[in-house]
Structure 1
């Protein structure tokens, strides 16, 4: 299949390598001419994947029209803040040339102000004339490990089983395994909200908190993700899978994780802007914290970790005050809230 990967960051590049290994005709698109030239000339992308040699057949372009018209499938691997404008640009090109593609996105976050999931943003800017379906590919998948062909397992979801199976066939190989999922909302919410918890864990690590505290935040954080996600229509069991618990574990425990590293830098006294500049990458957890905090108010869902991290990031409360707010919350039972979520889902299943 002819496939264009939009975005020359670490994950877009690693997925281009997977697709090339599967014998697809891969063209990458990037705005940075120097990165595009490096990919074409040296077959490397050292700014994002140091010490990785790209397959010789992968090529890149800085011409979006060329990338859009090259392919049958587009893999959209750009930050959430760029999804809307890129989707609009792709729609215009495809419509003008009467071309339709299958679109797979890999972004993990929520749009500020609208609070929309990525697939909804794309749908808002495209139409059935240009995009046959929107799929999401998500799960515990550090780009550095994917590029080194380390065993990785992810999930894909869309509204169409046929297209999910197509994505599964296109990406799956001996080191990159893809599972089907019919819960697109759950897959996207899990991938977005785990960045909040990873950011919080990074702050804890930077403040020299131990494994006990980290385990508590990961566990309670997963319940926050499930509560909001279920209220938004997701299947709660999705959050026990690859795009929930799996992605949360890998993002909250590894130095490969930009959200985890950003949290450490914040604890060291750096600003969000300074941390992102040092990494040279977008930290999705920052904007997603704000969006999720506002969503929790809209859906009347209690999310204490998200709330405290929001106050820490945007209202500049101290680390001591943030810790006190979490530890001295009103007494509650551990499984009370999760039980309510699962009972609601069980009633829906039995009613069907």
Structure 2
């Protein structure tokens, strides 16, 4: 089975590196960047110092990349819908695997719902992972979720590597929700630490954030227990505790009242806004998500956000 990765960001490049032993094509939108990567054998912008193995071919020709049987979609979440629409003829009927995390701000859909426009059984790879760890060959365990169990087994076999262990799930909605929602909580956790509120406050926030993730899972069509696995609790643990996380680092900057590099994609910012809308529409209580949405929109500062959460009515823990 031939494999391509669409999107030469850090995560897409890292996945391509792990699959290079069996041959993989990595598509980069910028022709100059693709030429440079193919020649220098390095993605100097996203993964500086990491060698691109010889089994990895970089191209800016989308038609060539889409000739593969299996396509890993590492396009940023907020660009996925437009990309699929623009390239529907090339993608239709392929084995598509989402590799982005988030909720589309316009349609309030996750990545597999968007990919379902052009393929019957879209899958998703998600879980606790930093691109640099994957690229360096450090051991990583991820969830591969697909409603079709036979296709899921096939993809698991094709996409696993010596350093990436894939666990199957038949709940792609739950898997993608875990990957999306943990970024929102990571922003809040970073803000807590940036504001100097302490480890105890962060632990409480992570715990209550996980309760919010579980609360919305069922109404959105997911199996809540899925979020107890790698794609939910596992990813939440990693992202809320490491400064390597872009979402955590963004939240930390918010907590300090500092600027954050606007060229760095922070999917949790858009996801917070989208999920806050979903929660209101479905009358689901998600106070942390609502506060994060207000923070990224500039409607609250961190001090006001913490006061909003702490002044909520006392209740039983559920």
Query: Taking structure 1 as the reference length, what is the TM-score of the superposition?
Result: 0.87
Please say if residues 96 and 115 of structure 2, whose CA atoms lie closer than 8 Å, have aligned partners that are also in contact: no
Write out aligned runs for 1:52-91 (5 A).
52-69=50-67, 71-91=68-88
The equivalent residue for 2:28 is: 30
RMSD: 1.5
TM-aligned CA distance change 1:80 to 1:44, over 3 Å: same
The equivalent residue for 1:222 is: 210
TM-aligned CA distance change 1:94 to 1:211, over 3 Å: closer
The equivalent residue for 1:244 is: 232
Aligned pair partner of 1:112 in 84, 102, 105: 105
d(CA) in 2 for partners of 1:37 and 1:209?
47
d(CA) in 2 for partners of 1:9 and 1:193?
21
Map Cα deviations across residues 304-352 of structure 1 (whole Å, 9 max, x no partner): 10111122222422322211111121111113xxxxxxxxxxxxxxxxx
Map Cα deviations across residues 73-115 of structure 1 (whole Å, 9 max, x no partner): 11000111111122123322356xxxx4211111100011321
Please say if residues 276 and 283 of structure 1, whose CA atoms lie closer than 8 Å, have aligned partners that are also in contact: no
Aligned pair partner of 2:306 in 323, 326, 349: 323
Aligned pair partner of 2:297 in 292, 314, 317: 314
Write out aligned runs for 1:173-252 (5 A).
173-252=161-240
d(CA) in 1 for partners of 2:166 and 2:111?
20
In structure 2, stretches of 5+ residues that fail to align are: none
Q: How many residues align?
A: 318
Displacement of 1:134: 0.8
Please say if residues 39 and 60 of structure 1, whose CA atoms lie closer than 8 Å, have aligned partners that are also in contact: yes
d(CA) in 1 for partners of 2:272 and 2:203?
20
Deviates more, 1:85-94 or 1:222-231: 85-94
Displacement of 1:223: 0.5
1:281 counterpart SS class: coil
In structure 1, stretches of 5+ residues that fail to align are: 336-352
Query: Taking structure 2 as the reference length, what is the TM-score of the superposition?
Result: 0.96
The equivalent residue for 1:345 is: none
Write out aligned runs for 1:117-156 (5 A).
117-124=110-117, 126=118, 131=119, 133-156=121-144
d(CA) in 2 for partners of 1:209 and 1:54?
42
Aligned pair partner of 1:92 in 84, 89, 98: 89
1:19 counterpart SS class: helix
1:290 aligns with 2:273: yes
Displacement of 1:123: 1.9
Map Cα deviations across residues 21-70 of structure 1 (whole Å, 9 max, x no partner): 3x1x211111122321222001101211122111022111111112112x
Displacement of 1:264: 1.6
1:159 aligns with 2:142: no
